[in-house]
Structure 1
Amino acid sequence: MKYEMQNLDVIDLLSERHEILRRLAEDKWNNNNNIYISNSEWCILGRIYKKQPTISDVAKGVDFSRQATHKFIKSLEAKGLVEVSNVQHSKKHKAIRLTEFGEICYEKNALYKAEIEQQLVNTLGEVQVSNLKNILNLNWNIEDLKV
């Protein structure tokens, strides 16, 4: 499938490429595994991988509502990917962590994403992909652009 992108501005270009790459990663996972994990759920898994944050901390760090965050966490828990537990010295807060199965899934998905990145290297060249990563990692001072 070919896309006509040369007339788009930088925001639309980034959005289009992000959507294409996200879809590729999601399809790669779904075609090779029998457990469906949404992009929003992957976002949460990424926030808690090798950590044990509170649900409140996770909710603050994602770009969807608190209620949606709780819904996704319940779904992840039902799939056996995360465990929710009480936080010591707090009756209000709950901690979340990946289960062993959750870590296996997260790491397997990381390998799929690395395969997609390697395909980009094969297509665009190592220097171009490296340059792109460097540009995306720069401090863009986006906070200063807010209206």
Structure 2
Amino acid sequence: MEWRNGVYLEFEELNLIDLISERHVQLRSICEQLWNDRHDIYISNSEWFIMARIYKRNPTISQVTRQVDISRQATHKFIKSLESKGWVEITKAQNNKKEKCLKLTSLGESSYEKNALIKASLEQKIMDALGADQVALLKQLLQADWGTLNEA
């Protein structure tokens, strides 16, 4: 990595959208690598993303599919993969015979929580580098109402 005045040169010319995207990809990659270095079971970023939609909830497969920006077929594949690893349980919905509900198993929940600790550690490293006030401001800006962006 080449830096100038505290700015990574590859990011210097990026607009806001691409800069957020690049940092997102970088952070997700670091989280995935940290998990895979410490555990025997490989979990992809897409699987973590799906698990986040299931954690402490009991959504249907179709609800999860609508919430993630992954094709329906790929979402089903990831859910089946999580089930085969023993992290997700698939059950029939009570009020609809066609629908199936998802729930993390105890192994899935504990793994999700271990991964949350990895992310918290990474967030602390970001705070150490940027300062707690800067990270708090960034979080506040990202959580703020940005108005109607679809009209752009």
Normalising to structure 2: TM-score of the pair?
A: 0.92
Residue of 25, 33, 36 corresponding to 2:42:
36
Equivalent residue, structure 1, for 2:121: 115
Equivalent residue, structure 2, for 1:17: 23
Q: Distance in 2 between matches of 1:32 and 1:145?
A: 44
Displacement after TM superposition at 1:90 (Å)? 1.6
Q: Which runs of 5+ in 2 are unaligned?
A: 3-7
Superposed CA deviations along residues 64-123 of structure 1, whole A, max 9, x for unmatched, are: 111111100000000000000011132100000000000000000000000000000000
Q: Distance in 1 between matches of 2:98 and 2:76?
A: 14
Q: Distance in 2 between matches of 1:27 and 1:104?
A: 18
Residue of 59, 64, 85 corresponding to 2:91:
85
Displacement after TM superposition at 1:41 (Å)? 0.4
Residue of 70, 73, 76 corresponding to 2:79:
73
Q: Distance in 1 between matches of 2:43 and 2:50?
A: 11
> What's the C-alpha RMSD, in Å, of the aligned pairs?
1.2
Equivalent residue, structure 1, for 2:5: none
Identity value in percent: 53
Equivalent residue, structure 2, for 1:102: 108
Q: Number of aligned pairs? A: 146
Q: Which amino acid aligns with 2:39?
A: N
Q: Distance in 1 between matches of 2:83 and 2:66?
A: 19
Q: What SS does the corresponding residue of 1:52 show, helix, strand or coil?
A: coil
Q: Larger relative contact order (C-alpha < 8 A, sep ≥ 6)?
A: 1
Displacement after TM superposition at 1:139 (Å)? 1.4
Residue of 3, 14, 23 corresponding to 1:8:
14
- 2:130 counterpart of 1:124: yes
Q: Distance in 2 between matches of 1:33 and 1:145?
A: 44
Displacement after TM superposition at 1:142 (Å)? 4.8
Q: What SS does the corresponding residue of 1:63 show, helix, strand or coil?
A: coil
Displacement after TM superposition at 1:144 (Å)? 3.0
